[in-house]
Structure 1
């Protein structure tokens, strides 16, 4: 009966009837973004991954708050490389069941990673697994060297039931890549039952590059994690504890993630006790509305493995986004930001100290490059931009032969719903730019994440704020992602430099740490000279939670895992 009452309470929450306080065995989370998928094979946004990491499990994960030490999950033990660093043989944990009731075997793991390589979609994280296992981030449609023989040879089960990875060359980041939430093991039989790929050579080509986001497996997941899906609609995801979880019983039996777009509404629900965790906004929002209030607990000065920036698109592919498309004061040309003078002018027009003061309450710090300063390869002695209206005006007057200063422009810049930091960054930039010339105007708009994530991959955004959190704890995950023309964010700003591409390729092909560091510093110096991004100051993380929630601590906080909320798995939490 106790379980029945708790599920009834959770159903009331899902239906919109708020309880005075969430039940002891129920965790209610409120955030601003929409969950886009529950399929680990396509998921690449933070909010979807935070649900997926509790439904599916990877071979191993980070130990506590460490960014370097691993502990096994579905692997029986951590493996070691053989064959000069090109082979990894994994023993799998026995006695593990999927939510469907199917036992987990090596065939499921083999199917999972082959499926990742086959479907490898531009909007998924599978590019970095493909890069390690096949020597290219591209799928078979884009790169004809990707064959079934290569895919089958890259990941297979041996006669002893061990999972064998064979890399074309050593990759020191490969084990960290396999700890990424999107590398969770899929239930092969269940996936095929849902109409997914059947795992055979006969059908693989029909599934190359397939978008899995709308597939039945996304709607009906079956993982090995501590929680299984009960219901998912446009505004809510409901999970309940998996009774046959190999890791044992959990204290939190039910999980509800609610989409609540308005920050003030989330904060009030949190203060009433209707929500245990919320996307709480900026540090200044937390200090003004939540700090010191009854029932509120805060942990501060937490590490971060993210890099925030304002993107300026050098080649905008949306005619509707650029107004007139001309230097007539009513829009901008599609290649407006391809002039380095424009990019430098915007970099000098941003008030970094105001951002640190108003958004980060003085705890922020300017970075020299889009790489966390705790990572190897960070170069602290590369110059940074500062707010300088005189220099900003100087560069605007040089831009496009004087046309920018003479005629002015209208820019449409968007942030995602609920992204308070991004909204504030755009407002600070708008203030700085528009003060220079009455003919300059920046229009700030808001979009749901589902819309924005599709648009920036199609080069349709003019200017957006974006933060990249670590998929795996190697500098390549940031440097290649941001700065290479082969990186994930290239369509977002379309900036390219031949030397930078060459240096980043060299850095990912060597295990020589000193050489990698030198190459990354060279990239950072060119990026300073060319200003492809406006680098936003980095903040220390601060997290709020209801003070009856146990298991949240600085010691357990891992910025790679569930970093918007607790930095821990939900199965590690309880309530007093």
Structure 2
């Protein structure tokens, strides 16, 4: 391990910092890093550290979300066996922080451990879905056996890693670029008392929570930075002297938990912190933009999508009011009427939302897929605010009964979701202006309550979003639009053609053919309006002006999770 400079030690101890030295990157954020075990990591703050301590087989090339570049693989692999086999040659001469050489056995151990310990609380469900054909572990799905796990990931006689998929998955390469898929040091993990990788012991580790593992406390990756010290509020990392990719310009990285936004902003303005969790666009523009020593990267792409959900089959409860179309409530199938959903879509003022909420720094999307992702349909139509169209559709809905009798809807937003609250308020104003018998009650509720209710189908209308796990359209389009997707219980919209197209897209490796299928989904969704697609705010990121390597040209929304969009090893300070 490298020795730390005395000044670096002093910096670690307090939020009241001296100016960050040239060889040290100081990052301040509001949240705590929950785990440094890649197998368990599924939160952005942990993954930001892990992508610099561990390395995946390949990663995104620069700012691109469609091109990959080798990392621990010596070259990008190609599919064989009709898209069901991927054979990966590994880079030679790579060492872990422990000093152990990286071999195929380490990669094999890593992905088998992912499949063994897989749980809904980790990202391993989407790897299991690809490699085993199920999102569940062996405890839940009895078809998952050791033979299937061992057959899915193995090393051949040439020392190459071989993935065997039960069916083609065009998203698999993107899934494997997820920061939590970094290769583990199997000898080090076994020495610490973690799973030893054998058939004899695997069942004891099925579904096990490894977020607090010994590997989390003492990580050993191949990345450019290694852990020196960690406590409840601080993490100190230093450049790994035997890193295969060469010595980075930044020697030390300090991450500090600083809960108060104002404190983080002042540290940033003084130059005590190089990167901070800076709050909303409004905060950045009001407090940081234009200040000495500050560069603001703006109009950066987003890897998320937001919508207002309209539940087609509400599962009952007092929230329905009278439960009838009598002006005092709504029936459970109120939003099952396409005319009702389309009327609401025309009643939303997209331009006002972009102007007032997103300060005109937004993109109006055709579908619930980031517009920088492959498969995005630019040609699909979008809704615009049109009160005349909204009124005509409301008059038509339910044979005129909606317009005649009116309705009362209870729409919820989670505590702290300001953009969602404002979106509902805009919709309420416009809908209620059409007919005095229309009423929308907006209610705040805690996330713990809302997350449970949405999965039980009890929410009526609510703002909700999704951030990318991996840069493939399936991660969004299937999630939102499929009757087997994550959000189906929340909106209960089902279209047999859409379901069929999405299944086909999941097994189609030709990008053009997949794009055609996704356009069909987008066009059908425009016709049916299962969601009100909210405009996507572009990202804004402040950095200290002396920090080099962070720019709009290099920013990748799938990397560095909310800060520079690049790896620490690519940064320097002048």
Q: Which residue of 2 aligns with 1:152?
A: 150
Matched, 1:12 2:10: no
For the residue of structure 1 that corresponds to 2:532, the secondary structure is strand
Q: Which residue of 2 aligns with 1:280?
A: 278
1:183 CA drift (Å): 1.3
1:85 CA drift (Å): 3.7
Bigger Rg, which one = 2
Structure 2, unpaired ranges of 5+: none
Measured against aligned partners, the alpha-carbon deviations of 1:186-221 in whole angstroms (never above 9, x if no partner) come to 222333455543322233344334444344444443
| Structure-2 separation of matches of 1:404 and 1:178 | 54
| Structure-1 separation of matches of 2:452 and 2:223 | 29
Q: Which residue of 2 aligns with 1:179?
A: 177
Alignment check: 8 A CA contact 1:332 1:411 kept? no
For the residue of structure 2 that corresponds to 1:3, the secondary structure is coil
Q: Which residue of 2 aligns with 1:248?
A: 246
574 and 381 in structure 1: CA distance in 2 versus 1, 3 angstrom threshold: closer
67 and 406 in structure 1: CA distance in 2 versus 1, 3 angstrom threshold: closer
Matched, 1:412 2:409: no
Q: Which residue of 2 aligns with 1:139?
A: 137
Alignment check: 8 A CA contact 1:377 1:516 kept? yes
19 and 167 in structure 1: CA distance in 2 versus 1, 3 angstrom threshold: same
| Structure-2 separation of matches of 1:159 and 1:174 | 24
Q: Which residue of 2 aligns with 1:227?
A: 225
Q: TM-score, normalised by structure 1?
A: 0.84
Q: Which residue of 2 aligns with 1:102?
A: 100
| Structure-1 separation of matches of 2:258 and 2:428 | 27
| Structure-2 separation of matches of 1:259 and 1:460 | 36
200 and 493 in structure 1: CA distance in 2 versus 1, 3 angstrom threshold: farther
Alignment check: 8 A CA contact 2:274 2:543 kept? yes
Measured against aligned partners, the alpha-carbon deviations of 1:310-356 in whole angstroms (never above 9, x if no partner) come to 44566789x9xx76664489999988766666655554443211121
Q: TM-score, normalised by structure 2?
A: 0.84
| Structure-2 separation of matches of 1:42 and 1:458 | 26
Alignment check: 8 A CA contact 1:42 1:125 kept? yes
For the residue of structure 1 that corresponds to 2:49, the secondary structure is helix
2 and 54 in structure 1: CA distance in 2 versus 1, 3 angstrom threshold: closer
For the residue of structure 2 that corresponds to 1:520, the secondary structure is helix
Q: Which residue of 1 aligns with 2:195?
A: 197
565 and 413 in structure 1: CA distance in 2 versus 1, 3 angstrom threshold: same
Alignment check: 8 A CA contact 1:396 1:405 kept? no
Q: Which residue of 1 aligns with 2:481?
A: 483
For the residue of structure 2 that corresponds to 1:41, the secondary structure is coil
1:53 CA drift (Å): 0.8
State the superposition RMSD in angstroms: 3.8
Alignment check: 8 A CA contact 1:324 1:330 kept? no
1:71 to 63, 69, 72: 69
1:128 CA drift (Å): 2.9
Q: Which residue of 2 aligns with 1:444?
A: 444
1:111 CA drift (Å): 1.1
551 and 139 in structure 1: CA distance in 2 versus 1, 3 angstrom threshold: same
| Structure-1 separation of matches of 2:312 and 2:215 | 37
Greater shift, 171-180 or 549-558, is seen at 171-180
Measured against aligned partners, the alpha-carbon deviations of 1:501-524 in whole angstroms (never above 9, x if no partner) come to 221001111234444233222322
For the residue of structure 2 that corresponds to 1:115, the secondary structure is helix
460 and 34 in structure 1: CA distance in 2 versus 1, 3 angstrom threshold: farther
Matched, 1:113 2:111: yes
Measured against aligned partners, the alpha-carbon deviations of 1:18-65 in whole angstroms (never above 9, x if no partner) come to 114333333232344554433322333333322221121101112222
Alignment check: 8 A CA contact 2:362 2:536 kept? yes
Alignment check: 8 A CA contact 1:226 1:250 kept? yes
**How many aligned residue pairs are there?**
566
130 and 21 in structure 1: CA distance in 2 versus 1, 3 angstrom threshold: same
| Structure-1 separation of matches of 2:251 and 2:461 | 42
| Structure-2 separation of matches of 1:255 and 1:431 | 48
For the residue of structure 2 that corresponds to 1:21, the secondary structure is coil
| Structure-2 separation of matches of 1:552 and 1:427 | 37
| Structure-1 separation of matches of 2:245 and 2:93 | 10
78 and 518 in structure 1: CA distance in 2 versus 1, 3 angstrom threshold: closer
1:26 to 8, 24, 27: 24
| Structure-2 separation of matches of 1:263 and 1:423 | 22
296 and 425 in structure 1: CA distance in 2 versus 1, 3 angstrom threshold: farther
336 and 205 in structure 1: CA distance in 2 versus 1, 3 angstrom threshold: farther
Matched, 1:562 2:560: yes
Alignment check: 8 A CA contact 2:428 2:439 kept? no
For the residue of structure 1 that corresponds to 2:536, the secondary structure is coil
| Structure-1 separation of matches of 2:264 and 2:349 | 29
1:155 CA drift (Å): 0.9
Q: Which residue of 2 aligns with 1:506?
A: 504
